[in-house]
């Protein structure tokens, strides 16, 4: 089991995504809709490898699966379901009126500028779109 400092440092994305519960405002199924599956993998400063899959579903519903693997063989996995809402090119994620994460849409990817790896925002690439 990771020590508390390592867990906190390795889990900012979880903190940002764990408590989703905002609604989509005016999203619909247009070409600008963010609905679909996104995924990304990166290595944290502690050499853990983080893999995330985020699904943005119709009606502003979201789900996430996250797996962290450390070089010593330890693994941690979690998942959640919640809501999201759009504000321009941003997807706001939070709960009970608080925003925990803001993803910026860039092409078919989502960027988390509050979580940098090697000085660059985490990028979740679109894996699949919902059927029309």
Residue-range definition of the domain harbouring residue 45 = 4-128
- Over residues 25-78, the pLDDT tens digits come to 333 334 478 999 999 999 999 999 999 999 998 888 888 899 999 999 999 999
Q: Model pTM?
A: 0.71
Using the predicted structure, report yes or no on whether residue 2 has a pLDDT greater than 70. no
**What is the count of structural domains for the chain?**
1
Write the CA distances from 5 to 9, 11, 82, 106, 118, integer angstroms: 6, 10, 27, 32, 20
Residues 6+ apart with CB under 8 A from 21: 82, 83, 94, 95, 96
CATH number at residue 78: 2.40.128.640
| Residue 130 confidence class, pLDDT cut points 50, 70, 90 | low
């Amino acid at each position: 089991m990771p020590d508390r400092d390592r867990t906190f440092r390795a889990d900012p994305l979880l903190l940002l995504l764990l408590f989703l519960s905002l609604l989509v405002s005016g999203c619909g199924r247009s070409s600008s809709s963010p609905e679909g599956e996104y995924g990304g993998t990166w290595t944290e400063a502690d050499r853990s490898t983080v893999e995330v899959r985020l699904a943005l579903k119709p009606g502003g519903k979201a789900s996430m699966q996250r797996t962290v693997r450390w070089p010593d063989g330890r693994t941690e996995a979690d998942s959640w379901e919640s809501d999201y809402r759009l504000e321009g090119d941003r997807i706001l994620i939070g709960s009970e009126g608080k925003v925990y994460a803001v993803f910026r849409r860039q092409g078919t990817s989502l960027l988390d500028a509050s979580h940098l790896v090697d000085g660059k925002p985490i990028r979740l690439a679109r894996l699949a779109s919902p059927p029309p």
